[in-house]
Structure 1
Amino acid sequence: MQALRIYAGPQARRHLEQHGLAPAHVGTVPGAAGGPKGLVLGPLDRFLFGQWLPGSVQPVDLVGASIGAWRMATACLQAPDDALAALEREYIHQHIALPPGQRRLSADQISAGFADNLRRFYGGRTAEVLAHPRYRLHVVASRGRRLLARDGRW
């Protein structure tokens, strides 16, 4: 049984066979959307950003959407191991209260609640994220229109 499966094109595979994988070989780290996926990758994120990537000096593009964007932004903070562990805790334990008399939250209420949680988590550290000496954050976002903009069941 193999614990890790590597998918690579021919050129990348040759590079790995000849040189292995070192922090200096990494130019981009993608962060996928999807909450559970992001949480499962927490220990790997803490290793990559807390121990492994600091062993190199090149600029690294961090690209993410949704939870992947927040993971990548958090990796740009000082003490990334601690910051990433805190992000996991905050993400798991977030709660948006349902107003009295309302049966479910609207998309706008969820967005506003999540935005409040992010403001609390980053607490004015936006400049710290954007000023990282090596990591360049790229956030992928989309806007739902037409059918995707509906606030209701399909």
Structure 2
Amino acid sequence: MATQWLQLRAGKSAWLQIKEQGLSEQDIQLLVGASGGPKWFVLQGLDRYLFGEFFGQRKTPLDLLGTSAGAWRFAALGQRDPVAASELFARLYSTQTYSEKPDVREITDEARKLLAEYIPDQAVEDILRQERFRHHWIVVRCRGLTAAEGKRQMFGLLASAAANSVKRQWLGKFYERVIFHHPASAASFTEHWRDLPTRYATLSQENFKQALLATGSIPLVLEGVRDIPGAPAGIYRDGGVTDYHFDLDFSGVKGLVLYPHFHQEVIPGWFDKGLKKRRTTGALWPNVILLTPTQEFIDALPYQKIPDRNDFANMAADERIKYWQQAVDQGRRMADQLHEWIATDSIRDHVELWT
């Protein structure tokens, strides 16, 4: 029996639809990408297939929802050559190097350099002018001490983590969710999102790069982004703080939701990692298709694990860069498997009910 590299799980309505009809690109109305830093390298092969072949000839609009690395991945869509842009992002990110003990300023400066090369001004213009791929990024606007830098920020983080442990909705006392959306989108699929204070801002030539930088500005690791044009004044940070892997109402999506993910679990917010009872499931997301690596895939990786940010500290640069490239290369096995299942219509036999 051939090794299965990809696990495909779906909520009940998505599962029934695939069982009865298979899967086509027109079935998908929302593509989702989570926070997770370099974990996304195992998904780059899937991105190449989706951005190039699967959605390459799409005529109708496709909504995109991302935070942090997910938003950065999807910024390849709408560029003139999305596959080449995705590969550029993977190369730039995987080959980043820092001094022995980089501070927040150094890491932020490197992120800005990467952004300038990955998303030149012409690419911003191209993305905003086209209407097939409609970006939606979640960024948090900080309140109180969470807006501070340095040690004072830590007190805000501890307080917000404590509040979240009691009730997730209490995160709203510390952070406001801001959805930056493509000018061609009214972001109507988000209309039921009432769990946290939520505002909207339209993406523009003036704020595109700042908003993208902000959605990946990890607290204590990168500097916050101040006063983004077209949005309320304040300090903005990583959207994964509130929406790490998402726990949002997708009933407003008029079709299926495709979610390539690097983790078997879907963790709602950044502070929920250690709260095992807080997990999103297919029972809550009946129209979602979740694509994840199998354990066999992970076991075949160097070190039997998916890349993560700790690799910066735990590995020499040459070792880390080689390992991350191996993760990118192996990720293409998942893409090849998905392509085969869709092309032969055997995807009906491989989808599992996600409960």
TM-score, normalisation: structure 2: 0.38
- Equivalent residue in structure 2 for 1:74, among 73, 76, 81: 76
Aligned to 2:109: 112
- Choose 27-36 or 142-151, whichever is displaced more: 142-151
Contact 1:24–1:57 (CA<8 Å) still a contact in 2?
A: no
Root-mean-square deviation over aligned CA pairs: 2.1
1:36-75 superposed matches below 5 A: 36-75=38-77
Contact 1:27–1:60 (CA<8 Å) still a contact in 2?
A: yes
- Choose 137-146 or 24-33, whichever is displaced more: 137-146
Aligned to 1:129: 127
Kindly indicate which of the two structures has a greater share of residues assigned to helix: 1
Which amino acid is 1:123 matched to?
Answer: P
Q: 2-side partners of 1:41 and 1:132: how far apart? A: 25
Q: 1-side partners of 2:47 and 2:54: how far apart? A: 10
Q: 2-side partners of 1:41 and 1:131: how far apart? A: 27
Q: 2-side partners of 1:150 and 1:66: how far apart? A: 15
Q: 2-side partners of 1:55 and 1:150: how far apart? A: 41
Aligned to 2:7: 5
Gap change, CA 1:4 and 1:120, over 3 Å in 2: closer
Gap change, CA 1:37 and 1:9, over 3 Å in 2: same
Q: 2-side partners of 1:42 and 1:12: how far apart? A: 24
Contact 2:76–2:83 (CA<8 Å) still a contact in 1?
A: no
1:142 shift after superposition: 2.8
Contact 1:23–1:55 (CA<8 Å) still a contact in 2?
A: no
Kindly indicate which of the two structures has a greater share of residues assigned to strand: 2
Q: 1-side partners of 2:88 and 2:220: how far apart? A: 33
TM-score, normalisation: structure 1: 0.83
1:142 aligned onto 2:140: yes
Which amino acid is 2:75 matched to?
Answer: A
1:95 shift after superposition: 2.9
Contact 1:64–1:139 (CA<8 Å) still a contact in 2?
A: yes
Gap change, CA 1:150 and 1:85, over 3 Å in 2: closer
Q: 1-side partners of 2:94 and 2:4: how far apart? A: 30
Gap change, CA 1:3 and 1:116, over 3 Å in 2: closer
Contact 1:27–1:58 (CA<8 Å) still a contact in 2?
A: no
1:143 shift after superposition: 5.3
Gap change, CA 1:107 and 1:32, over 3 Å in 2: same
Q: 2-side partners of 1:113 and 1:83: how far apart? A: 18
Q: 2-side partners of 1:150 and 1:7: how far apart? A: 35
Contact 1:42–1:84 (CA<8 Å) still a contact in 2?
A: yes
1:59 shift after superposition: 0.8
Aligned to 1:21: 23
* Aligned positions, number: 146
The runs of at least 4 aligned residues of structure 1 exceeding 4 Å deviation read: none
State the structure with bigger RCO (CA 8 A, min sep 6), 1 or 2. 2
Gap change, CA 1:118 and 1:150, over 3 Å in 2: closer
Aligned to 1:88: 90
- In structure 2, the gaps of 5 or more residues are 147-152, 158-218, 222-355
